Structure 1
Amino acid sequence: MLIAEDLLLLLYNDESGKPITGNPGLDYSLAGAVLIELTLLGRVDIAVAGEDVKEGRLKVLDTSSTGDAILDERLAMLAEKSGQKPKNLMSKLSKKLRDQVLARLVERGVLEADKGRVLGLFPVTRWPAKDARHEAEVRTALESVLKLGTQPDERTAALIALLNALNVVPKVITDAVDKKALKRRAKEIAESEWAAEAVRKAVQDMQAAITAAIVVSSSAGGAAGS
């Protein structure tokens, strides 16, 4: 599965089928996961000083198919936006991404689409777990790193970094006795040399994009209420 698929499973409650965090964080974190995956696959990178592309900007290295439709669609988007700051691309990358990932997980029998209505009027869809075996494996890997102190592989570290950026680690690992220690360990992993600079930069830019979006939303709300 994609890192984005694993992340989405962690961010939805298995029983209620509701997300444990809101927007823009959830959608931008999925975009960040896709960007990380493309970086790990060697399709994109972040430019350093002395390159044709300005330092800190996105550069596309390889536009050949990854073999995954979701990744290929986003790679094509990035190919048109090479040279931009990754944080400025999160909104575009996240467009319809959650729906695509949810639909794929339903097709695979991992989630189910539970359609209903609120107050008998407004249509709503919940996404409870149908087959939680894969998610259980992902959670076991997370707990081994966060609670037992084992060293993570790149995918597990990427998930931890994304969850840390969203500040939802205690909502995912709910049975930890010491929540502060759990958050410290997640932060330690996120800030460590767990992956190439470009991958860690993708997480940082995703977090920056979330923060910027929240500030804009808050400012708009304040203006509307004044």
Structure 2
Amino acid sequence: MLPEDLMLLFLDEETGRVLMDTASIHTALAGAVLLELVSSGRVAFDADGVKLAVVDPAPLQNELLQESLIRFYEPMEPTRAVKRLLPHVRDNVMAQLVDQGVLTLENTRMFGIFPTKRYVIQDPQAISDLRDAICKAALRRRAPDEHIGALMSLLYAVNAVYEVFHGDIDRGEINARAGEIADGDWAAEAVALIMDTASRATSWRIVASSMAAASFGGSR
């Protein structure tokens, strides 16, 4: 699914460290979950194309999607929908990857003192293959299918294309190519709106985080 593949792209396959800031990762994952709900026909826009609402409340077998679906207790605009899906989205996606055996969770200690947890990648090749597919689409070596197009568009929405890209290419060039894919005809209008929402939500969260940090720093 999109959320799991997107999270894998945010991980360095050799070290397991994340390649982007928390705000960008959470917002992109929330957008990916929302796309899955829309694509599966569980959530759809109303007749006016303004608000998203549940159109099929039947229980889902996937725990991540089911937990996300119940957050749509009333119709809401895309921006609010993404925000509703933000809490715990990264932890929930990581838990699914652990359940699937893609990652393992280890308890360790930072500096040998402070208890902490870290994720260990069990199948680095899976991430490498996924990243290779993204690279080929970015370098025009293959046309992006719907799945790759969605991944590229979500990465583009949170300005993460270059950070997860493996290849010798200019940042401006790769971002321009990702923009072309995001604007391509692979995506329906509803999907395009969700992508735009994810982009704006990320900008808002980064600004809010910066303001909070500045306020905290100035109050000391």
Same fold by TM-score greater than 0.5: yes
Looking at structure 2, the residues matched to 128 and 170 of structure 1 have their Cα atoms a distance apart, in angstroms, of 23
Does the C-alpha gap of structure 1 residues 203 and 90 become closer, same or farther in structure 2, counting only changes over 3 Å?
same
What count of residue pairs does the alignment treat as equivalent?
Answer: 218
- Contact persistence 1:14–1:128 (CA under 8 A): no
- Give the secondary-structure state (helix, strand or coil) at the position aligned to 1:128: strand
Q: Percent identity?
A: 34
- In structure 2, the partner of 1:75 is 69
Q: How far is the alpha carbon of 1:155 from its aligned partner?
A: 1.2
Q: How far is the alpha carbon of 1:149 from its aligned partner?
A: 4.5
- Give the secondary-structure state (helix, strand or coil) at the position aligned to 1:174: coil
- In structure 2, the partner of 1:189 is 181
- In structure 1, the partner of 2:53 is 59
TM-score normalised to the size of structure 2? Answer: 0.90
- In structure 2, the partner of 1:104 is 96
1:15-54 deviation line (CA, Å, top 9, x unaligned): 222211112111121111000111111111233xxx3xx5
Looking at structure 2, the residues matched to 45 and 148 of structure 1 have their Cα atoms a distance apart, in angstroms, of 32
Unaligned regions of 5+ residues in structure 1, if any? Answer: none
- In structure 2, the partner of 1:117 is 109
Q: Following TM superposition, where does structure 1 have runs of at least 4 consecutive aligned residues deviating by more than 4 angstroms? A: none
Of 184, 206, 209, the residue aligned with 2:201 is 209
Supply the AA of the counterpart residue of 1:116: T
Tell which deviates more after alignment, 202-211 or 144-153: 144-153
- Give the secondary-structure state (helix, strand or coil) at the position aligned to 1:183: helix
TM-score normalised to the size of structure 1? Answer: 0.87
1:136-178 deviation line (CA, Å, top 9, x unaligned): 3322321221113432111111100111112121221122333
Looking at structure 1, the residues matched to 64 and 95 of structure 2 have their Cα atoms a distance apart, in angstroms, of 11
Tell which deviates more after alignment, 24-33 or 116-125: 116-125
Asked if 1:139 is matched to 2:138, the reply is no
- Contact persistence 1:16–1:126 (CA under 8 A): no
- In structure 1, the partner of 2:120 is 128
- Give the secondary-structure state (helix, strand or coil) at the position aligned to 1:64: coil
- Contact persistence 2:79–2:197 (CA under 8 A): yes
- Give the secondary-structure state (helix, strand or coil) at the position aligned to 1:45: strand
1:165-195 deviation line (CA, Å, top 9, x unaligned): 1212122112233332211111111122221
- In structure 2, the partner of 1:45 is 44
